[in-house]
Amino acid sequence: MIRVYSHSNPFFVYNAKNILEANYLKVELRNEFSAGAVGELPPTDNWLELWLFDDIHVELAKKLLRCLDSPSPSVDWRCKNCSEINGENFDFCWNCQQ
């Protein structure tokens, strides 16, 4: 078994599962019911994960899922203090800490 996909938005993971199953790859979802643990574990530990049964198909699986990695709508934000662009995962400006 090998993990081939994970995302904070379960919709994308279900979509990935559908894509692989449509190509006759056997997959399993993990963390499907761990949302209740949010706040106690690092956020990425709660992401829904897609695991592939046969490691031998991992390259095919990744190729099929490549379309899911196309740029998503940017949610970067600009600091009001110094105008620096910050990634969505930053709560504070990395440049001026505002």
By CB under 5 A, the count of residues binding Zn ion is: 8
User: Residues 14, 22: contact at Cβ < 8 Å?
Assistant: no
Sheet with strand 2-7: strands edge to edge: 2-7, 48-52, 27-30
90 binds Zn ion (CB under 5 A): no
61 binds Zn ion (CB under 5 A): no
Candidates 1, 37, 38, 82; binder of Zn ion (CB under 5 A) is 82
Distances (CA, A) of 66 to 5, 12, 71: 10, 12, 11
Contact stretch for Zn ion (CB under 5 A) within 7-15, 20-28, 36-44, 77-85 = 77-85
Candidates 29, 60, 68, 84; binder of Zn ion (CB under 5 A) is 84
